[in-house]
Structure 1
Amino acid sequence: MPIALRVHRDGPLARLCLARPGVRNAFDAALIAELTATLEALGGDPGVRMVVLEGEGPAFSAGADLNWMRAMAAASEEENRQDSLALARLMRTLDELPKPTIARVHGDAYGGGVGLVACCDIAIGVPTARFGLTESRLGLLPAVISPYVIAAIGARQARRYFASAEVFDAAEALRLGLLHQVVEPGQLDAAVQRQVDLLLKAGPAASAGAKALVRAVTAHADAARHDADNAALIARLRVSPEGQEGIAAFLEKRPPNWMPR
């Protein structure tokens, strides 16, 4: 089986590389499970002080894998709920990882890929990267990733981009707060390394505890309930008539029936 996730350790730094370039690093159940397990292991490793998340090939992550999407479109609502809870666990694990995280966004991020960027503590991208919360084109919503995206870009902007599925560039991602910095491709590694160096100068407990402090101030009253509700929502949407039509139209490369002819 091809490797879906490459892990490289360099002293206190762990680099996780999504390694499905043939499908633009899109998610499937196996990648979600592998990435979640790896993050959980790194979170408990005292030798790791920070994590860089990156992608192989031209894209950072295109979101859902087509074959995975096709399988889930044919699955029951309960199967979709369980599947969505697995993705929710991944996002929650990354967001709450007790180590600082850096997203190295060298290419496009869509759907769940935007969720990964939003879950990281620091996000640096290149000018050519494009972003999209395109689920509504399929009659769906970015429910599972919504807590993290809304925290990154704010409720007002989320209402626009969740509804319109508009694709936006890195400059807009910077303005919205999804990215912290935009640099030319040749400067990307240096910009990431600068953040690594700054984190190494900070107290390990302090830098690891920074996100816990922010979360304590701004946390949802019941995070587990939030995840369960969001997973139930996307499961209902996936098996609804509109969701089924949207997914089918996407897979069949045709306009959905709600688009003007």
Structure 2
Amino acid sequence: MNYDTLTIDTAGSIATVTLNRPEVRNAFNEQAIAELTAAFTALGQVDGIRVIVLAANGTAYCAGADLNWMKKMAGYSEEENRADAMQLANMLRIIYACPKPVVAKVHGDCFGGGVGLAAACDIAIAADDAHFCLSEVKLGLIPATISPYVIKAMGENAARRYFLTAERFNAREALRIGLVHDIATAATLDGQVDAIANALAANSPNAVRQAKALVSEIAGQPVTDTLIADTAHRIAQIRASGEGREGVAAFLEKRKPAWLN
């Protein structure tokens, strides 16, 4: 598929999806949302891809909603707005549930829907000059479609503040509240993201996929007999899997596992 709003580059088992609308600070419109949906759906099914990096060209990571798109939405009925919002909601869910680990490489401004985009990724690394803002309430709106991912990332307490105040905050605050996992200088951001991506790519593809599902499905669950049985079932299945057996054998035999050859 050819894309107009993003580029896709592959180096070995790592794919980089780059938002490529620098003239509008990589703001979302219908086309960008549709192309991100298509790209992550496709890449999630490619056997040779083990990691996806979500980056951006230009001075901003993502400025949220495109102004022309917002003007168009201003004339929509409630039903039309709901259908439009579902496109963004589905795109974020596809990134969040992608079977491959996704790493956000954030720089510059990351506002509104851009915060949701970074929060939907498994790991977010930000440049130390990045700034974040959940500005929706200034426009009489709320960050509804991005809220499942942003609240999971920053927690309810921080969300109460930043959803309600629409304050800008910097990368160090994003790190403190858990929205991003680490920060780097502009000069070292590429290297730090590469290191994370390479570490992910070196692990068992099946185990990484199952570990991602484990976090999503176990987080917040009460510790019950059913949960304990489920976790025992999961480890038994993966121990008996081809990669599970190969990984343990490689460790005991002091050699590289087959997925690294």
Task: Give 3-state SS (helix, strand or coil) of 1:154's partner.
Answer: helix
CA contact (8 A) 2:104 2:123 kept: yes
Q: Number of aligned pairs? A: 220
One-letter code aligned to 2:125: I
Matched, 1:33 2:34: yes
Question: Which residue is 2:102 aligned to?
Answer: 101
Q: Which runs of 5+ in 2 are unaligned?
A: 222-261
Q: Residues 82-97 of structure 1: matches in 2 within 5 Å?
A: 82-97=83-98
Q: CA separation in 1, counterparts of 2:214 and 2:82?
A: 31
Instruction: Give the C-alpha shift of residue 127 in structure 1.
Output: 1.2
Question: Which residue is 2:184 aligned to?
Answer: 183
Instruction: Give the C-alpha shift of residue 99 in structure 1.
Output: 0.3
Cα deviations by residue, 1:206-259 (Å, 9 ceiling, x for unpaired): 112222101111379xxxxxxxxxxxxxxxxxxxxxxxxxxxxxxxxxxxxxxx
Q: Residues 86-235 of structure 1: matches in 2 within 5 Å?
A: 86-218=87-219
Instruction: Give the C-alpha shift of residue 200 in structure 1.
Output: 2.0
Instruction: Give the C-alpha shift of residue 122 in structure 1.
Output: 0.9
Instruction: Give the C-alpha shift of residue 201 in structure 1.
Output: 2.1
Q: CA separation in 2, counterparts of 1:16 and 1:156?
A: 32
Q: Which runs of 5+ in 1 are unaligned?
A: 221-261
Question: Which residue is 1:12 aligned to?
Answer: 13
CA contact (8 A) 2:14 2:201 kept: no
Q: CA separation in 2, counterparts of 1:192 and 1:106?
A: 12
Q: CA separation in 2, counterparts of 1:152 and 1:211?
A: 15
Q: CA separation in 2, counterparts of 1:24 and 1:209?
A: 35
One-letter code aligned to 2:62: S
Q: CA separation in 2, counterparts of 1:75 and 1:26?
A: 19
Cα deviations by residue, 1:181-225 (Å, 9 ceiling, x for unpaired): 1111110111011101211221111112222101111379xxxxx
One-letter code aligned to 2:69: W
Cα deviations by residue, 1:137-186 (Å, 9 ceiling, x for unpaired): 01110000000000000011101111111110000000011111111111
Cα deviations by residue, 1:19-74 (Å, 9 ceiling, x for unpaired): 00000000000000011011000111111111000011000000000000010011
Cα deviations by residue, 1:71-107 (Å, 9 ceiling, x for unpaired): 0011111110000000000000000000011001122
Larger Rg: 2
Q: CA separation in 1, counterparts of 2:10 and 2:38?
A: 16
Larger deviation: 67-76 or 207-216?
A: 207-216
Question: Which residue is 2:252 aligned to?
Answer: none
Q: CA separation in 2, counterparts of 1:219 and 1:15?
A: 31
Q: CA separation in 2, counterparts of 1:4 and 1:106?
A: 18
One-letter code aligned to 2:110: A
Q: CA separation in 1, counterparts of 2:114 and 2:97?
A: 17
Identity %: 50
Q: CA separation in 2, counterparts of 1:200 and 1:50?
A: 6
Q: CA separation in 2, counterparts of 1:108 and 1:53?
A: 15
TM-score (norm 1): 0.82
Larger deviation: 112-121 or 205-214?
A: 205-214
One-letter code aligned to 1:28: N
Task: Give 3-state SS (helix, strand or coil) of 2:104's partner.
Answer: strand
Question: Which residue is 2:225 aligned to?
Answer: none
Instruction: Give the C-alpha shift of residue 10 in structure 1.
Output: 1.4
Q: CA separation in 1, counterparts of 2:69 and 2:54?
A: 22
What RMSD in Å do the two structures reach over aligned CA positions? 1.4
One-letter code aligned to 1:158: A
